[in-house]
Amino acid sequence: MKYDIIVVGSGPGGYVTAIRASQLGFKTAVIEKESLGGICLNWGCIPTKALLKSAQVFDYLKHASDYGLTIKEFDKDFNAVIARSRGVADGMSKGIQFLMKKNKIDVIDGHGTVKPGKKVSVKSADGKETEYSADHIILATGARSRELPNLPQDGVKVIGYRKAMTLEKQPKSMIVVGSGAIGVEFAHFYNAMGTQVTIVEYMPNIVPVEDEDISKQMERSMKKAGVNIMTNASVEKIDTSGPGVKATVKTAKGEEILEAEILLSAVGIKSNIENIGLEAVGIKTEKDKIVVDEFYRTNVPGYYAIGDIVPGQALAHVASAEGIICVEKIKGLHVEPIDYGNIPGCTYATPEIASVGLTEKQAREKGYEIKVGKFPFSASGKAKASGTPDGFVKVIFDAKYGEWLGCHMIGAGVTDMIAEAVVARKLETTGHEIIKSVHPHPTMSEAIMEAAADAYGEVIHL
């Protein structure tokens, strides 16, 4: 079979790429060895949000009296919560199947391996191999949970994120190693469900890529919710010989042993670049990533790569954007490279975190003279009425030109608010323009306008 474009992998990078390619008139096929939608849709972004929604509803029930409501009896069904999450993921995967048919994209089941001469060999589950060719081959094979030598995952007592979504029973206690988005989200979910959770983070702050003020607020909020947090700490070794797991944790005070039923390793991801034929084709890699140019072309003509397997933020929306740019460039359209400095990042724990651009520390290190504004949700009428006063919006502007350098939020619903900052930064909007843009009242989004006003000494409600 000969195609114009073959996409290897059907995650949010792969399937979006395939659809855009089809829209542009390319005869397109997508190769997938597991489930359409990839990790994000089946084992990441979507099912975790379903779990977190159950945790949020359960938390509302526990605090019903705060809203003037009396609920005498309620409980959780952990297996039903897990089942709902899987059901949501399955439904979304079926939706991708529909989109493939709608856009006349051939779905080829099996493991794809690229070969020289713009060919892909696909090995199906029954061992049969079939070869396909295309003018353009786009790799979108994604990533998986990273395993550290001292934290080998056995899938029973030491687990990764996939197993954390499908445990047969709720553990009484859990150690979460790593406090990035994956670690913090699972720590919040299991804590909300009633599991005793301890986070072990190697860096001085949890969610260490965030602005320091955000990290400190998240730590306060999680501790208030009952999560035990250890920073500047590392797991040196584990012992799974007993009924649970014992982790030897090194801190500034020395070593201590933590015990729990389950240890979740959330120490990052590993690119899926092995066993897909890169060496045979001669595609260059560096530091666990495929080397590409600004339009995702590898060093071998006709072969491209997008998503978690190339440098840049390993996020679903980044992979989708990269795939669209890749095929539009192939088509010959005028496209601009992605500005990786204007990519929003979101963490969906409680409170949520959303950010884009430079942190305060980064802005100062780059030599900017800055204006910083903050507005707490405790001063927001909508947040108070909603019972979600924790958190704040923090904005950073260049004092000389008013350029919006960074925006950092922590609070209820902020992952839906960050797009304002992304679009404004794309349009080179200044701080004064944000202040003079009338925001609706009462909304959480008013906090962005108020934070900008605070930066310029014009804040009204603080």
341 is in an annotated binding site: no
112 is in an annotated binding site: yes
Sheet-wide strand order for 404-411: 345-347, 352-357, 404-411, 392-398, 370-376
Q: What is the end-to-end Cα distance of the chain in Å, rounded?
A: 66
AA identity, residue 265: S
308 is in an annotated binding site: yes
373 is in an annotated binding site: no
179 is in an annotated binding site: yes
268 is in an annotated binding site: yes
Catalytic annotation, pick one of 63, 439, 441, 461: 441
201 is in an annotated binding site: yes
365 is in an annotated binding site: no
91 is in an annotated binding site: no
431 is in an annotated binding site: no
394 is in an annotated binding site: no
The yes-or-no answer on residue 317 being catalytic is: no
Active site residues: 441
Annotated binding site for FAD: 49, 112, 308
Annotated binding site for NAD(+): 178-185, 201, 268
Annotated binding site: 49, 112, 178-185, 201, 268, 308
